[in-house]
């Protein structure tokens, strides 16, 4: 079994700004995502059989979506700014259309469609535990970064990736790339 997902990588030139955002937030209770691993997940597939990889690849190759420009900006939190569990970086552009296409192509293989509304974002950090004062400090930092501009990027490729979990964090390997029109 292989743990997999479909994503859009953020460009290398964003890594320094991502690191800068994380440094303003970090402290006890947060686990940051290594900047080169920060990406926008379109679909988490979970554990798949090796035999399914070829089928997934073939279906993703049927994708018909034009490349588009996305502005990567704004720091927020799920489920809310007042009760943060995941800290994220926002993205605009045609991600909803791209996400719907990926959902349809993979539902043909039996993968369930995500019932929640798709919100394009890149996870920056996960919250493990916050004391009351640390939570207030984090919320204040999040508020100060809600309009932070990282930059514009061209979304012209999606990647089907393998994720290997290790004690030092995940290791991602691209299994297949699909160029957008």
Task: State the Cα–Cα distance between residues 96 and 118, nearest whole angstrom.
Answer: 7
Question: Which member of 99, 121, 168, 176 is catalytic?
Answer: 121
Q: Judge whether 118 and 43 are in contact, CB under 8 Å.
A: no
User: Phi/psi zone of residue 163: left (φ > 0), alpha (ψ -120 to 50 degrees), beta?
Assistant: beta
Question: Which member of 15, 39, 99, 176 is catalytic?
Answer: 39
**Residue 168 known to be catalytic:** no
Residue 27 has phi, psi (to 5 degrees) of: 165, -170
Task: State the Cα–Cα distance between residues 145 and 139, nearest whole angstrom.
Answer: 10
Placement of tokens 């919100």 in the chain: 119
Residue 162's Cβ-count burial label (10 Å; 0-12, 13-18, 19+) is: middle
**Residue 176 known to be catalytic:** no
Q: Which residues are catalytic?
A: 39, 121
């Amino acid at each position: 079994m292989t743990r997999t997902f479909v994503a859009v990588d953020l460009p290398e030139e964003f890594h320094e700004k991502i690191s800068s955002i994380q440094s303003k937030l970090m402290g006890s209770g947060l686990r940051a995502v290594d900047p080169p691993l920060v990406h926008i997940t379109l679909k988490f597939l979970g554990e798949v059989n090796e035999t399914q990889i070829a089928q997934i690849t073939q279906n993703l190759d049927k994708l018909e979506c034009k490349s588009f420009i996305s502005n990567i900006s704004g720091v927020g939190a799920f489920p809310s700014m007042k009760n943060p569990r995941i800290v994220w970086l926002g993205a605009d552009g045609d991600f909803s259309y791209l996400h719907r296409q990926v959902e349809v192509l993979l539902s043909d293989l039996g993968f369930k469609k995500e019932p929640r509304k798709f919100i394009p974002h890149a996870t920056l950090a996960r919250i493990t535990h916050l004391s009351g004062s640390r939570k207030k400090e984090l919320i204040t930092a999040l508020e100060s970064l809600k309009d932070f501009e990282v930059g514009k990027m061209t979304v012209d490729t999606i990647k089907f990736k393998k994720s290997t979990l290790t004690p030092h964090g995940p290791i991602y390997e691209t299994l297949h790339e699909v160029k957008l029109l």
